[in-house]
Amino acid sequence: MRDLTDHGSYSPAPMIEQAPASGGIRLSLDDAPERERAGRYREFLGRSVMRLDVEPLRDTPFEVDITVQALPGLQLFSGRLHGSRNQRTREMLADGKDDFSLMVNLGGPYLVSQGGRELTLADGEATLVTSAEPCSFTHHPPGGVLALLFPRQPFAALVAGVEDCYVRRIPSHTPALKLLMDYVAIARDQHAIASPELQHLVVRHVHDLMAVALGATREAAEVAQGRGVRAARLHAIKADIAGHLAEVDLSVAALALRHGCTPRFVQRLFEAEGTTFTEYVLAQRLALAHRMLSDPRRSGDKIATIAYDAGFGDLSYFNRAFRRRFGGAPSDVRTSQPQQASRRLM
């Protein structure tokens, strides 16, 4: 697999730029002349992903706005792409690439063919292809796509009969695919996984989830359930908690119902991290309250209002918990803000 980081300064056209949020490279052809788009896109693919022949469609506008991000053993190709037929021909196989690509359709009919098999992916569906055989991709508007490109080894050992998985539909409701889509958000956040150790861990979890979605071997599935699937579940549950912190009645039972598991399973996820569901929610609510108390835009709000907005239904309990966590009363945070502001102006 070509390492994208080797091409951080690659810029054959003004429409190619660094993408700071993901640490990758973004290509947008929105302002490029129509006649030049196929050539520029073909050149970009050859340098950053793999060689493909690009043929614009006659009846559909050719639009490209995609980002390619590289991690150890994984490339993420995502964005908007439609109006072209992209082919990897038999002549192009001479480059020796032998990688896999998990193609996830984020919007618009997506025609994928390889080895005599052909299917049209509906929104949210996915399939696997290999770069070692000729293949073809044709996307129609709105053309949202996510492709995960990764080496054949060691992934092939995780899936029973991986060659039988090529161009096989993975329905959008597949639990492992849903978890994968949530978890990929971590992989796309370059700041959250800045260290090489975290990057390798996240990539391993992504491999686990892809294997389960495709049909992991029994041994690999057991490992994945205790590693990648568990990590993705915990990430999804934490994101759910963050979105419902203000709800006083947020409960482990409600979370379990939304995520299709038992309350005890949710509790075990947090216990494996050395905490409990209750302790985690309390810590997140206290942190939220501290941010709101520090926010000059909320300086006129009563502390009781802040406490309620952070999900606390009992003001006395909030004050006690806040003092234990931060070593001072909520009002102390308010008092310190003007002093800190005046220091910054000095």
pLDDT value at residue 9: 35
HSE value, Cβ hemisphere, 13 Å, CA-based, for 113: 10
Give the residue, 138 or 97, on which the prediction is more confident. Answer: 138
d(CA 213, CA 163): 15
pLDDT value at residue 274: 84
Kindly state the DSSP code that residue 83 receives in the 8-state scheme: S
Taking the mean position of all CA atoms in its chain, how far away is CA 39? 29
Describe the chain by its helix, strand, coil percentages, rounded to 5: 45, 20, 30
- The model's confidence at residue 316, banded by pLDDT at 50, 70 and 90, is very high
pLDDT value at residue 196: 82
Q: How many residues does the chain have?
A: 346
Block residue for tokens 């260290």? 195
d(CA 324, CA 219): 45
| Residue 293 backbone phi and psi in degrees, to 5 | -65, -30
Residue 48: how many CB atoms within 10 A of its CB? 22
pLDDT value at residue 291: 92
- The model's confidence at residue 324, banded by pLDDT at 50, 70 and 90, is very high
Strands lying side by side in the sheet with 74-82: 16-19, 24-28, 63-71, 74-82, 144-151, 99-107, 126-130
pLDDT value at residue 346: 38
57: left (phi over 0), alpha (psi -120 to 50) or beta: beta
d(CA 9, CA 322): 48
d(CA 317, CA 90): 69
Q: Which of 56-60, 141-145, 196-200 has the lowest mean pLDDT?
A: 196-200
Q: Is the pLDDT of residue 228 over 70?
A: no
- The model's confidence at residue 287, banded by pLDDT at 50, 70 and 90, is very high
Residue 52: how many CB atoms within 10 A of its CB? 21
Residue 137: how many CB atoms within 10 A of its CB? 22
d(CA 174, CA 299): 46
pLDDT value at residue 185: 78
182: left (phi over 0), alpha (psi -120 to 50) or beta: alpha
d(CA 284, CA 27): 37
pLDDT value at residue 128: 96
Residue 30 corresponds to which tokens in the numbers above? 């929105």
Average pLDDT over residues 111-123: 95
Residue 11 corresponds to which tokens in the numbers above? 């810029």
d(CA 147, CA 99): 12
Select the CATH number that applies to the domain covering 4-243 from these four: 1.10.10.10, 2.60.120.10, 1.10.150.130, 2.30.30.280.
Answer: 2.60.120.10
252-345 adopts what CATH topology?
Answer: Arc Repressor Mutant, subunit A (1.10.10)
Q: What are the extents of the domains in the chain?
A: 4-243, 252-345
pTM: 0.65
d(CA 296, CA 330): 14
| Residue 255 backbone phi and psi in degrees, to 5 | -65, -45
Average pLDDT over residues 139-155: 92
Q: Which of 49-58, 266-275, 280-289 has the lowest mean pLDDT?
A: 266-275
Block residue for tokens 């501290």? 290
Residue 277 corresponds to which tokens in the numbers above? 């569901």
Q: Which of 143-147, 207-211, 291-295 has the lowest mean pLDDT?
A: 207-211
Q: Is the pLDDT of residue 2 over 80?
A: no
- How do residues 128-140 score in pLDDT, each as one tens digit? 999 999 999 999 9
- How do residues 239-270 score in pLDDT, each as one tens digit? 889 899 999 889 999 888 888 778 888 888 88
Taking the mean position of all CA atoms in its chain, how far away is CA 99? 20
| Residue 280 backbone phi and psi in degrees, to 5 | -65, -45
